[in-house]
Structure 1
């Protein structure tokens, strides 16, 4: 087996002290999932078992939850946006969330409103999908350098899409100002003072995938995971999903590992400092969905208390994950995974080939009994870039 060393900085969380959060637990996830089950096209996404890869890595089990098959949107983000919009409308119009239906709302002919958000692609696509399903309007803002493919995915759903000359976090601030001027409803997946309800609902909506995974593991007669790897941008998905698993299994009973690109590693730096750290600049990483420099203040306490390690890694780690998932060993199932989707599996693949493999496994407490869960959060949402990485070797490997 060839060896190569990809940059992965790992920090142990000195503030690990498991604490539940009543907003992000199994009960909240079940409520969100019950709503999602009523949406046209809902079905649980696959949970794939990578038996041969696990054997080569020297662990008992590696699982990949494949969110490329979430509705027809190729990513998990619709789970948060749809649940948040449903909750927002129910509060605004005094409706009952227990029997709320997108179809019935549209047919009722309510006055049109406009939903707006900042996105790196997938979240905005989910908001645009929901707005169209409800017969409403959507205006989606994207940061500088956004892929034309991701823009097209949004405009194809009937939304207006505006690409700014700012980074993600500054674009969020622009979105807020514009929404206030026009009276639009903001559906943003990060929180700030005075804006917490919608991002709370978004995080709860993401936990649908965690509830599915837990149910699927039980149906497959598998024991709960000993390791859960979660990629993070602002930390909304990671926080919502970790909150669910911490409530279900107890955070002390598994190793939660948070993974970020090294060019946008605000949570990794926050873990070192012990408090939220914001970073600015271009945030120029191929992991567009994770190119965020300011932690979500709702997600950060969950990660600070319940994650055991944080990893900051170079883009080549995500590229490696894309290639291995797309071309797995032996009879392992193939997964089309985008840049942000593949990075956690990429960490495992990088460890497999690393000259210091044994030391890295020891640092992450990976043993022959380890059972690992990863989530491929997106498919090839930027098909051109996917081919550049997987076919043409972009962000390739330098061998030792």
Structure 2
């Protein structure tokens, strides 16, 4: 599935609320918060010249979020950041004075945080971020996980002291149950998807992701001409596309959203002109992207800032994982989880089928984002045929060519 953006809002300025959320001032705030994180490091940007040449491109870079804040996923930037902001806002109200990130360890601020419980639904990575953020500030977390979330991912979230709530059904079912229970118990929902009347907190989550594109632009010698970013409900894609639109204006790159064919809710929104719920059939191996309705806030940005929408199949996602684990000579090894390499999978499909439509050629400078490392190491080994530790150690699976 490939669809150019023919929405009437395409290439129009962002909604003022979204421009404020995803603009320079918001990104500055995120960086200021990150400066207070003990384990904050800029994530690597890898050049893949051999694969770029194979695809007939001028350059290909991968921003590797598998190293982000000890969580192995870009989600580390969103949920925890929103938790910090919400705790500080509540502390400022309760104490009657301005409270900033440097005050998070103060006894009076932590006493207020201890009265707060943050709830969310998750496929795995967002829940870890919310749980980690709550633990760091001394708050509580209740994380709702659906039937498709692996035991390893559940254990990783529980390791941050979160209360785990199991939900029958899929991700969308867990979102609804988290919102219902949180309303009953007066908990604060920190969701990465939005719904009518609930937009500001998902906006804060998206604001956290602006760090990724800001870092990448600083690391690149020249801005990219094309960017491929995967989507679940659309938050990461919207954050990257929106920030690029603001800081680069008319010089911004062609932006392509990539989704699993089995959970293509952003493609469905592009067809309908608004978010719609897509049917749930078979689960997708791209577990972190298994969402069936786009976030309205994310769609509002993507309707304006995305240029094309496409899907990839199950085998293409796995092939991208394997290709990053066993690269061409001279290219670096990259550990990408089931959803991490989907942007690259989209690029490879686009080169084969939609090169002319997207203007991909020997002068193209392409950026993709590895959104997660091996956040479920057992599943990674099943799909790639080798453990993530052995990939990083340079060991090849049996039968692989060196």
TM normalised by structure 2 equals 0.89
1:128 & 1:105 partners in 2: Cα distance?
20
Among candidates 1, 4, 10, match of residue 12 of structure 1: 4
Comparing both chains, which one has the higher relative contact order based on Cα–Cα distances under 8 Å and sequence gaps of 6 or more? Answer: 1
Q: Deviations over 1:344-399 (max 9, x none)?
A: 112234456xxxx3x5211221011100000001001111111111008xxxxxxx
- Residues 230 and 351 (structure 1), Cα distance of their counterparts in 2 relative to 1, 3 Å cut: closer
* Structure 1 residue 373 corresponds to structure 2 residue 375: no
1:389 & 1:106 partners in 2: Cα distance?
48
What's the counterpart of residue 332 of structure 1? Answer: 331
* Structure 1 residue 169 corresponds to structure 2 residue 172: yes
What's the counterpart of residue 274 of structure 2? Answer: 275
**Contact 2:71/2:128, CA 8 A, preserved across alignment:** yes
1:139 & 1:313 partners in 2: Cα distance?
33
Deviation, 1:340, is 0.9
| 1:30-49 paired onto structure 2 within 5 Å | 30-49=28-47
* Structure 1 residue 157 corresponds to structure 2 residue 149: no
**Contact 2:312/2:349, CA 8 A, preserved across alignment:** no
* Structure 1 residue 178 corresponds to structure 2 residue 181: yes
Long gaps (5+) in structure 1: 1-8, 393-400
2:293 & 2:107 partners in 1: Cα distance?
35
- Residues 286 and 303 (structure 1), Cα distance of their counterparts in 2 relative to 1, 3 Å cut: same
Deviation, 1:59, is 0.8
**Contact 1:38/1:101, CA 8 A, preserved across alignment:** no
After superposition, the CA RMSD in angstroms is: 1.8
Among candidates 122, 125, 135, match of residue 122 of structure 1: 125
- Residues 306 and 107 (structure 1), Cα distance of their counterparts in 2 relative to 1, 3 Å cut: closer
Deviation, 1:282, is 4.7
Q: Deviations over 1:200-258 (max 9, x none)?
A: 110101111111111111xxxx2110001111011111111111111111256321000
User: Which moved further from structure 2: 286-295 or 98-107?
Assistant: 98-107
Deviation, 1:283, is 5.8
| 1:359-398 paired onto structure 2 within 5 Å | 359-391=353-385
3-state SS of the aligned residue for 2:105? helix
1:300 & 1:100 partners in 2: Cα distance?
34
What's the counterpart of residue 22 of structure 1? Answer: 20
1:262 & 1:53 partners in 2: Cα distance?
24
3-state SS of the aligned residue for 2:339? helix
What's the counterpart of residue 239 of structure 1? Answer: 238
**Contact 1:320/1:349, CA 8 A, preserved across alignment:** no
What's the counterpart of residue 398 of structure 2? Answer: none
- Residues 79 and 213 (structure 1), Cα distance of their counterparts in 2 relative to 1, 3 Å cut: same
Long gaps (5+) in structure 2: 387-402
- Residues 105 and 320 (structure 1), Cα distance of their counterparts in 2 relative to 1, 3 Å cut: farther
1:338 & 1:148 partners in 2: Cα distance?
16
User: Which moved further from structure 2: 102-111 or 33-42?
Assistant: 102-111
Deviation, 1:280, is 3.7
